Amino acid sequence: MRLLCKKPISLIAIAFAGTFLFSSCQKEEWAPLDEVLNGSGERGNNSSTGNGSSAILLVIDEESIDNGNPPNNFSERDVNDQIATVGQRSTLRYFQSNVGKSINLYTGEVGDEGWHALKTIPNSWKAAGPTSNGSQNFLKAGPGLGGGNDDREVLLDKIPNVTPLRATGLKMLIGQTVLAVVYDSDISINYGPLNGNLQGANLGMVALKVEQVTKRTDGSSGSLPVVKVKILSVESVKGLPLKLFSNAPVPRSSSEPFDINPPATAAAVQLTTAP
């Protein structure tokens, strides 16, 4: 009788163990969906810093954010146009009042881009003060960087590697947090060698999380993508480590490549510490 009792118990234990092992294998084989897809429903870009753990320094001009621009048709007060000046660093009024809201922004045309990455911080920015960090001095509008008594813009001309972002570069920013100084006019770009003129009046600053990048279908033949962004708090994002978009694709000229269609996949964004 004892042998008869032990046999069914052993069979039950074996069956239980097999079920447990099968379940464990299933759990290890499949990754959670939110680890595979980002919030836009597209495969996310890997980043050594992780989403929201740092902020990428950009400059944005009137081709993307300005009063009267579609698709938002901001008023003058919405974008600080009535107080625009060299060195203005206040948060744009609409963006300060709508933290957490998602909106679409246009990004300009090929040869007249609205979003630009800073990839090189000149030593003169570091020496300008008030800190020893050139990027922070730019954000604070230090002497020669938008502030000071004389020559307020002397350090803002012919900045190396100011890189206009076309479709591929914008696509690489999905899931990333950006902190941008917004200009009241166009940012002038020269090619061969690539450099930009960052002089001119500023509307202020915005902080954004890039959620989605899609082809624009209601513009001209050279229109760059629509970027869906979530508005973030400038004051909060300013506390994050500041990074440079070091592998932003470099256009060969004002017209090449004619990069208007976001690719299905893009290289992972590479970030370096902003000196």
The pTM for the full model equals: 0.82
Which residues of the chain are under the pLDDT cut of 50? 1-50
Closest CA to 237 of 101, 45, 80, 57: 57
pLDDT score of 1: 40
pLDDT at 51: 59
- Find out whether 179 and 234 touch, Cβ atoms under 8 Å: yes
Identify the pLDDT of residue 150.
Answer: 87
- For the stretch 55-76, pLDDT in tens is 999 999 999 999 999 999 999 9
Residue 150 makes CB contacts below 8 A (sequence gap 6+) with none
CA distances, 172 to each of 92, 145, 264 (Å): 25, 28, 11
By the 8 A CB rule, do 36 and 43 touch? yes
User: Model confidence over 186-245: pLDDT tens digits?
Assistant: 999 999 999 999 999 999 999 999 999 999 999 999 999 999 999 999 999 999 999 999
Using alpha carbons, select from 47, 40, 32, 33 the residue that is nearest to residue 176. 47
pLDDT of residue 149: 86
pLDDT of residue 33: 27
CB 56 within 8 A of CB 248: no
